Chains A and B, each alone.
Chain A
Amino acid sequence: MTALLKLLRSAPFSARLGMGMVLITLLAAILAPAIAPYGETAVTGDVWLPASSSHWVGTDNLGRDLFSRLLFGARNTIAIAFLITALSFGVGTVWGFLAATVGGWIDQLLSRGVDILMAFPTLIFALMVLSVVGTSIPALVVVIALLDSTRVFRLSRAVAMDIAVMEYVEAARLRGEGLWWLMRHEILPNAMPPLVAEFGLRFCFVFLFIAALSFLGLGIQPPTADWGSMVRENAGAITFGIYTPLWPAGAIAFLTVGVNLIVDWFLHVASGLED
Chain B
Amino acid sequence: MNNPLLEMKDIVIEGLTGDAWAPIINSLDLTLRKGEVLGLIGESGAGKSTLGLAAMGYARQGCRIASGAIVFDGQELLGAPASQLRLIRGARIAYVAQSAAASFNPAHRLIRQYAEGPVQHGLMSAAEAEENAVTTYRQLLLPDPENIGYRFPHQVSGGQLQRAMMAMAMSCRPDIIIFDEPTTALDVTTQIEVLAAIREITRRFDTAAIYITHDLAVVAQLADRIMVLRNGDLVEENDAGEILAHPREPYTRDLLAVRSFRKRESDAALKKEVILKVEGLTASYTGENNVLEDIDVSVHRGRTVALVGESGSGKSTLARVITGLLPAVNGRVVFNGDVLPAALKHRKREDLRRLQMIYQMPDTALNPRQKIRKIIGRPLKFYFNASRRQQEARILELLEQVELPADYIDRYPTELSGGEKQRICIARALVAKPDLIICDEVTSALDQLVAEGILKLLLNLQRQLQVSYLFITHDLATVKAIADEIVVMLAGRIVEKGPKKEILTPPHHAYTHRLLACVPEMDPNWLDRLLEKRPAA
A in complex with B = yes
B532 close to chain A: CB less than 8 A: no
CA of A189 to CA of B325, assembled, Å: 24
B366 / chain A contacts, CB cutoff of 8 Å: 168
How many Cβ-Cβ contacts under 8 Å join chain A to chain B? 51
Q: Tell me if B359 and A171 are in contact (CB < 8 A).
A: yes
- Give min CB distance, B129 to chain A, whole Å: 35
Please tell me if the beta carbons of B428 and A189 are within 8 angstroms of each other in the complex.
Answer: no
* Least CB separation from B440: chain A residue: A167
A169 and B357 alpha carbons, distance in the complex (Å): 12
> Considering residues B323, B366, B369, which has the most beta carbons from chain A within 10 angstroms of its beta carbon?
B369
A121 at the interface (CB under 8 A from B): no
Given known A-B contacts A167-B361, A189-B370, A174 and B344 have beta carbons under 8 A apart: yes
* Given contacts A174-B357, A190-B369, A166 and B364 within 8 Å (CB-CB): yes
Question: Which chain B residues lie closer than 8 Å to A264 at the CB level?
Answer: none
- Tell me whether B18 is interfacial, beta carbon within 8 Å: yes
B359 and A167 contact, CB distance less than 8 A: yes
Residues of A within 8 A of B368 (CB): 190
A176: contacting residue among B19, B352, B357, B428, CB under 8 A:
B352
Does B384 make an interface contact (CB < 8 A)?
no
Complex contact B352–A175 (CB within 8 A): yes
Tell me, in angstroms, the Cα distance from A189 to B369 when the chains sit together. 6
- Residues of chain B lying within 8 A (CB to CB) of residue A189: 367, 369-370
What's the tally of chain B residues with a CB closer than 8 Å to chain A?
A: 28
Q: Does A46 sit at the interface, judged by CB under 8 A?
A: no
**Which A residues touch B432, using CB under 8 A?**
175
**Measured between alpha carbons, how far is A175 from B324 in the docked complex, in Å?**
11
- Bound complex: CA of A174 vs CA of B365, how far in Å? 12
Out of B344, B365, B382, which one reaches A167, CB within 8 Å?
B365
A168 touches B364 (CB 8 A): yes
Question: Using an 8 Å CB-CB cutoff, how does the interface string of B336-362 with A read, 1 for contact, 0 for none?
Answer: 000000001001010010011101010
Most buried by A among B323, B365, B367: B367
The answer to whether B323 and A174 have CB atoms under 8 Å apart is yes
CB-based contact A171/B352 at 8 Å: no
User: Are B344 and A173 within 8 A (Cβ)?
Assistant: yes
Taking a contact as CB atoms under 8 Å apart, the answer to whether A176 and B349 are in contact is: yes
* CA gap between A5 and B347 in the complex, in Å: 46
B325: contacting residue among A166, A174, A177, A192, CB under 8 A = A174
Q: Contact: A171 with B325, CB < 8 Å?
A: no
Q: Within B366-412, which residues are at the interface with A (CB < 8 Å)?
A: 366-370, 378-379, 382-383
Q: Is the CB of A185 within 8 A of B370?
A: yes
A168 and B367 contacting across the interface, CB-CB below 8 Å: yes
Contacts of B370 in A (CB 8 A): 185, 189
For A169, give the chain B residue with the smallest CB separation.
Answer: B367
Cβ of A233 within 8 Å of any chain B Cβ, yes or no, is no
| Candidates B367, B382, B383; contact of A190 at CB < 8 Å | B367
Contact partners of A273 in chain B: CB under 8 A? 414
A98 and B370 alpha carbons, distance in the complex (Å): 21
Q: Are A10 and B19 in touch, CB under 8 angstroms?
A: yes
Seed contacts A171-B359, A174-B355, A175-B432; 12 additional CB < 8 Å A-B pairs: A6-B18, A167-B364, A168-B366, A168-B367, A174-B344, A174-B352, A176-B349, A176-B382, A185-B370, A190-B369, A192-B369, A273-B414
A-B pairs with beta carbons under 8 Å apart, 12 shown = A168-B364, A168-B365, A170-B325, A174-B324, A174-B325, A175-B352, A175-B379, A175-B382, A175-B432, A176-B349, A185-B370, A192-B369
The 6 closest A-B pairs by CB, nearest first: A189-B369, A167-B365, A168-B367, A176-B352, A167-B359, A10-B19
